[in-house]
Amino acid sequence: MDAFLSCPDHGQAGAAPPRSAPASSPALISSVQDLYDFICSGPLVDRIGYTKEKIADSIDRWLRCGVQVARLFRLNELHLSEAEKARIYHFYIPVFLWCEDQVTEHRAKYNEGDEIPPLVIGVSAPQGSGKTTLVFALDYLFRVSGRNSATLSIDDFYLTAAEQAKLRESNPGNALLEFRGNAGSHDLPFSIETLESLTKLTKEGMKMKLPRYDKSAFGGRGDRADPSVWPEVEGPIEVVLFEGWMLGFKPLPNEAVKAVHPQLEVVNKNLQAYYDAWDRFIESWIVIKIKEPSCVYQWRLQAEIAMRADGKPGMSDEEVMDFVSRYLPAYHAYLPTLYKEGPNGSNPDHLLVIDIDEQRSPMWGR
């Protein structure tokens, strides 16, 4: 965590000390000052547009969010390890504050009395990189701050097990379409129907169920969950957090994808329909950037081990290796363009790129 502990000068050398609520002891004042210095040292401060003055002015909010996140993850907010403190104050809270600013800006475009559609924030990040936990924390922070939010994953739009079997049969010998994952293995009309309905949830009393996918079904190969267990959301929804490993991927020239993997050609063709099904709904983007796609295998392995430890059937280590190998060609083909140009249809003013290391911690951008 050494990279987190050097407090850079963000061009605000004369920043005032944090103005928190009156403290009852010098020790509390000192601890708030220490936390302020720690927050200022975070790698995302500049990227979310925060100066030292702005952090000082909003220190009560940082403290309040810190307590809420710590309790969400059942941590003692007064005795956090350095890693826990960095995870909360260098990652989850800065990203939440950026999202909150995005929602505020989105809603400011409308007049009083207008039906305001929710802001859809896309979170594009490789498997196992921590995006689901990040979205869990963001959703919680939105809700405790009084904003009605909803969450979706591209996993929720995977074909059913039966439909995936048909896809496999119609693409014999193509390992990239044998199981769920790549472009072609999602129900795009269902995606459009769900996202359109969700963005129209602008009034009280309007309700809908959000689809969910059960990754543990069929020995870890997965199936769409029964609608009886889908969560229900009620309007008005202010923000939708939509996450996925391939959100924002742009189709490439055929020769380029064939050079990566010959079986990627049909996947690349399938990808052409994904902008209209997913990306066009997203106005603000978070992209979690990794150094090497090879990280995905280790992260996925950890996730499956955790699933098995939780009593759910998961894939064996060998099955994880086989499973991830079917995603790696897409990572190698599409991540460079995603990182260079941003997601398909994105606006640089509404894009937050977060570089992470092998421990899934934010680091200084390269």
Q: Residue 158 and residue 150: Cα distance in Å, rounded?
A: 19
Write out the H or E segment, with its range, that includes residue 169: helix 161-170
pTM: 0.87
Rounded to whole angstroms, the Cα distance separating 48 from 117 reads: 24
Query: Tens digit of pLDDT for each residue in 195-235?
Result: 999 999 999 999 999 999 887 777 777 888 899 999 999 99
Res. 16: pLDDT tops 60:
no
Q: How many CA atoms lie within 13 A of 191 on its CB side?
A: 27
Which has the closest alpha carbon to 327: 61, 38, 68, 125? 125
State the pLDDT at residue 12: 37
Q: Is the predicted pLDDT of residue 3 greater than 60, yes or no?
A: no
Asked if residue 249 lies in contact with residue 316, where contact means CB atoms within 8 angstroms, the answer is: no
Q: Which one, of 99, 258, 245, lies nearest residue 180 by Cα?
A: 245
Among candidates 150, 132, 67, which has minimal Cα distance to 306? 132
pLDDT at 365: 67
Question: Do residues 194 and 157 make contact, with C-beta atoms less than 8 angstroms apart?
Answer: yes
Residue 122 pLDDT more than 70?
Answer: yes
Of 3-17, 84-98, 167-181, the range with the highest mean pLDDT is 84-98
Between the ranges 26-40, 126-140, 205-219, where is the mean pLDDT highest? 126-140
- In this structure, of 13-22, 37-46, 107-116, 342-351, the range with the lowest mean pLDDT score is 13-22
* In the chain, where the domains are located: 35-90, 114-356
**pLDDT tens-place string over residues 285-313:** 999 999 888 888 888 888 788 878 888 77
Q: What is the mean pLDDT of the chain?
A: 87
> Can you give the pLDDT at residue 8?
31
- Who's near 105: CB < 8 A, 6+ residues apart? none
Nearest to 122 by CA among 149, 156, 98, 152: 152
CA distance between the termini of the chain: 17
CATH for 114-356, among 3.40.50.2000, 3.30.379.10, 3.40.50.300, 3.40.50.970? 3.40.50.300
